[in-house]
Structures are given as structure tokens and as C-alpha cells.
Chains A and B, each alone.
Chain A
Amino acid sequence: MHQSLRFASKSISRAETRLRERNREVLLAAGREAKERIVEREFDRVNETVCKDLANYSALHRSLSESINRIEEDHQQAVDVPPDPPGWVKAVEAVATIDSREGRVRVGAVLSDIHKSLVKAHQEAMVMYREASTKRHALLRKMRPEWRQIQQTLRRVGKNVDSLLSRSVTIDRHMQEYEDMVTGEDRAVSVLSSSSLVYFFVSMLVLCVAIGGATINFSLIARPMAEMVGGTSMIGGYRTSEIAALVIIMVEISMGLFLMESLRITRLFPVIGALPDKVRVRMVWITFTILFLLATVEAGLAYMREVLLHDELATSALLRGDVSQTLTGQYLWITTAAQMGMGFILPFALTFVAIPLETFVHSLRTVLGLFAIGFLRFISLALRVLGNSFRYLGLLAEHLYDLPLFIPIWLEQRSSKNTGNSSLSEVTP
């Protein structure tokens, strides 16, 4: 018994080990896939940034070059030009060339002319200098926006480069985690395992909310469906109208799943994800159209439900003889509009069930594996304890069996000893 239980325990332990290994592989594979998606997405973002901002780098370069050229030209023009030599130099030359014989008499007049020329030249020089300064200032003022533009452009480029750098840091981090997963590090497995449990419970919570939404949706359309398929016909013990309402909701959820798959938000059906982009986009439109039509049908059914409800209330009131109850309130349109709105919105809201469903399905495998490992471990332990219990019970039984035999054996040994002694005493003399 002990051996067989021990053998069973070992067998279960081996099964548990195999399952743990398998679970580990599944966990790492799922983690790798998720990480690949994240890294892929990060690269997409980097690519987007590069395409958007750095693709027009040539235009940016040209713009910067043009701005710099313009600044250079303006700078060249803004150089402080020395004023022309004053006009009185010529007058000095004239004075220098005056003959001594005829010159002395006219020197005063010449000096007066020189003075006049000097004043005039000074005035002209001042005017020219002011004009040149004004022009220079104007050129410098013109340079200011160019500087600003260059500054802005460079800031933008810096921002993009910073963004790329931060993304590269994120990618590095993800790649490190990915490498850990590839090498099968225990830390990665532990992180993935806890994440999987969290995802499982969160997705389950969201799915419960979605089930609540689907139930409300069902109650909105089940009653008016009786107008379409009849209120009494049954299929398998269930009303046909209720089954029809359920089918509509299921079709809506299916369309939502396909829509999410076509948009590559979820990856439950690899076939859809692998479709050519053209077909995929076409599929998006087709599923969206069907979903929209179903939502419209639901809104109509919700309106029909309200009408039926009023009709039934009026009939009941009439049968009770309470005519005052048949009057309709002026605010009833609010409930009608609310029901129609819910009937229209809920199918689209149910579309997003695909996201938690995918997470639930993926994490379910791991969580079930964890539970199965725990269960097998418990069974193995229980079998081992049971086996040992049987073993020690056997030993105990053996000892108990020996206990009553002790006295006859002791007596037998004692008598045999006595016999031996007497024979020896006989032989000794």
C-alpha cells in the first residue's frame, strides 16, 4: 500500500512538474508575444516620429540654410562703412598749390571757403552716417525673426530627438525584459504569472459588467421580438422570441469581435489579422455596417417595447375598469428616448467586450494551469502522507503483533537456557 501510494504520489509529482514546465512555457510564450507587440508598437511610434518630423529634414535643412544665408547677407550689409574723406581735403590741396606771389592776398577768402566746405562736408557726412546707421538697424531688425525661426526649428528638432531618446530607453527596457523571457529567467516568469492573475481577475470583472449589459439588452428586445416571431412558440423549452433576442445579441457580439479583429486591436483570429489590408478594411466596413443596422433594429425594438408596454397597461387598466390610468403622461417620451438610446448604444458598447475577452482567454490558460499545479501538488502530498501513514500503521501493527508473542518466546528462551544449564552440570563432574 505504501509503495503503491508512494508510486502514485511520484507519478503525480512528475505530472505536476511537467505541467509546471508547460505552464512556464505557455507563460513565457504569451509574455514574449505581448512584449513583441509592445516593442513593435514602440518601433511604430519611432517610425511615425521619424517619418513625420525627420522625413522633411531636407526641407528643414533648406529652411535653416536659407535663414542663415539671409542673416549672412544682412550681416554683410549691416557692416559699419567708414564715411568718405571730407571735401575739405581738396581745399587743403588747393591751398597747398597756391603760388606765393599771387596767393597771399587771397588766403583769407580761401580759408573762408575751406571753412564753408568743411562745415558742408561735415553735415553731409553726418547725414550719410545717419542714413547708413538707419539702414543697418533696419537690417538687424530684419534678422530678428530669422533668429527666432532658427531657434524654434532647433527647439522642435531637439524635442523630437528627446522623444526618440526616451522611446529608445523604453525600447531598451522592453528588450531587456524580452531577453529575460527568452532566457527563461525566474523573475520574468514570476512577473508574468502575477500579471496574468491580475489580468484574469480584471478581465473577469469587465466581462461580468458586459454580461450585465447584455442582460439589459436582452430584456429590451426579448418582449418586442414576440411581435416578430410569436409569443408562444417554443424551441427546446424556451420561447422562440427569447432565443431570437439572444441570437441577435450573440450576432452583435460576434460582429464586434470581427470588427476588433479587423482593426487589429485584438488577435483572437489570426486568419483575420493576416488578411491583406484592402480586404481587412473592407471587412471593417462590412462588420461596422451590420453592427450599425443591428443597433438600429434594436433601437426600433426598444421603441416597440415601450409602445407594447403602454398598450398592455392601457388594456389592463380598461379590464380593471380604471380608465384614468389609460392616460399617458407627458414625460413618457423621456423613457422611450432612453430605451431607444440604450438599444442603439449597447450593441456598440458590447463590441469592446472583445478586448477583455481576449485577455480573459489568454490569462485563463495560465490561471487554470496554476490551479491545476496547486491541485496536483495537494494530491501528491496527500498521497505521500497517506502512504507514510499506512507504512507506520503497518509497523505499529507488527509491533503490536509482536507484543503478545513476547511472553511465550521469553519463556521458551528461559526454559531452553535452564535445559542447557542442567545438561552442562551433568557433564561437568
Chain B
Amino acid sequence: MRLLTTIASCVVLIGCSSSSTPTNTGIYMLLDTSGTYREELQKAQQIIRYTLSRLDAKDSFAVARIDTASFSEKDIVAKTTFDDRPSTVNRQKRLFAEEISIFVDEVKSSPYTDITGGLLQAVEFLNEKNTGTKTILIFSDLKEDLKDGYIRDISFDLDGFNVIALNVTKLRSDNIDPREYLTRLDDWKSKVEKFGGEWQVINDLDGLEGLL
């Protein structure tokens, strides 16, 4: 009897201990829709599909656009937390891909680029989901262009976050003076690392295997 009680207690304890720390993945992807970068969205769609194929049950994924004021839930194009059952997960993935496809077809370019607002929204979303790993993908040229009156010079906690900049294209001005491009990347890197996050840049989209 004592042995049975001990075994039962061990099983319960092991069960409790394993469920205390989340092991799921949370990904928030920001899509730059400003100016000519809108034309790059086809590539973004490929990345989203790839990301969807790598995600599993209980993982969370959201895609939001970067526009004039990105710190808003209205800018989230599609979001989902995958169900526990595999069949439902497949259905959710198909629906998600469909929503993104519609968005890419119908999206209009925005006059301003509020990357920091989008980043804040991403942090808020992923913290709320309380996922095991938190990754923010920024599909942008990283050229922030804020509308007058918008304040984004604020601090936020990026501890435990991986921030990955994807397809950081060179602007015409960057070609004239490459220092601008390098400075931009350095600024973002220092900003993310200052708030406790990890920074990474992936421009070769063929090397996405190591992304997740």
C-alpha cells in the first residue's frame, strides 16, 4: 500500500513539474507595408508559410502590419494559438495561410513606418501568451519613419526575446552611402540588446532552416 502511494505521488509530482514551464513557441511577425517595400510581401508570404509548417500544437503565431501607428491590435492581420489536436492544427494553418494570402493581395502601402510601435505590440502579445520561446520577426528595411507627434522614444523589456530582422533591403540612399545602412542596423541592434533582447539579421531567405 505504501509502495503504491509512493509511486502515485511520484507520478503526480513528475506530472506537475513537467507542466510548470511552458515549452511552446511564440512568434510575432511584423510586415513593413510602407512605400516600395510592399512589393517584397510575396517573400514575406513564403516566410509565413515556412513558419507555419514548423509550428506545432499550442504554439502561438501572429502577423501584423507596420503602418503609421503600429501599436494597435487593429494592425494584427492574423493570429492564432494552435489547438492540441493535430487535425485542428492543420485546419488553423490552412485558414491562417488563406488570411495572409488575402492580405498580401489587398494590402495598400502606408505613408509612415512605425517599427517601434509594432515591436511594442509584439512584446505585449507574446507576454500575454506566455510562451516558452518568444521570437519577433521584422520583415522590413528597418527605416523608421514616424508621423509627427508620435512618441516612440520609450524603454521596454525585451528580456528573453529573439528579435530577427529579415530581408533588410538596401535603399537607394544606402547605395550612395552604405554607412547609413550599417548605422541603421547597428542602431537597431544596440536598441534591442539594450533592452535585454537578442538581435539577428537574416537577409538570405534560403537559409531559413535555422530560423526556428
Contact = CB atoms under 8 A, between A and B. Distances in A.
Interface in A217-239: 223, 226-227, 230-237
A232 B86 contact: no
Given A234-B18, A234-B19, A319 B87 contact: no
Contacts of B56: 231-232
Chain A at the B interface: SS class = helix
A319 B50 contact: yes
B126 to A, nearest CB: 18
Interface residues of A, number: 22
A283 B19 CA distance: 40
B52 A319 contact: yes
A320 B58 CA distance: 22
B85 interface: yes
B7 to A, nearest CB: 11
Given A232-B58, A234-B19, A308 B49 contact: no
A33 to B, nearest CB: 31
Interface in B27-60: 46, 49-50, 52-53, 56-58
Given A236-B15, A237-B14, A231 B52 contact: no
A189 B90 CA distance: 64
A206 B76 CA distance: 59
Interface stretch (A96-104, A309-317, A370-378, A411-419): A309-317
Most buried by A among B84, B93, B94: B84
A309 to B, nearest CB: 10
B84 to A, nearest CB: 4
B90 A311 contact: yes
B84 A233 contact: yes
A233 B57 CA distance: 10
A232 B93 contact: no
A408 interface: no
A308 B90 CA distance: 9
Contacts, number: 63
A307 B52 CA distance: 20
B53 A316 contact: yes
Contact of B53 (A231, A311, A320): A320
B97 interface: yes
B24 interface: yes
A315 B86 CA distance: 11
Given A230-B57, A318-B94, A318-B97, A236 B86 contact: no
Contacts of A276: none
Interface in B2-23: 11, 14-15, 18-19
A237 B90 contact: no
Nearest to B15: A235
B18 A235 contact: yes
A233 B19 CA distance: 8
A227 B85 contact: yes
A321 interface: yes
Top 6 nearest A-B pairs (CB, nearest first) are: A230-B84, A236-B14, A319-B49, A315-B90, A231-B57, A232-B58
Interface of A: 223, 226-227, 230-237, 307-308, 311-312, 314-316, 318-321
Given A230-B84, A236-B18, 13 more contacts: A226-B84, A226-B85, A231-B86, A231-B89, A232-B57, A234-B15, A236-B15, A308-B87, A308-B90, A318-B94, A319-B49, A319-B52, A319-B93
30 contacts: A226-B86, A227-B85, A227-B86, A230-B57, A230-B84, A230-B85, A231-B57, A231-B86, A231-B89, A232-B58, A233-B84, A234-B15, A235-B11, A235-B14, A235-B15, A235-B18, A236-B18, A307-B87, A308-B86, A308-B90, A311-B86, A312-B90, A314-B90, A315-B93, A318-B97, A319-B49, A319-B52, A319-B53, A320-B49, A320-B53
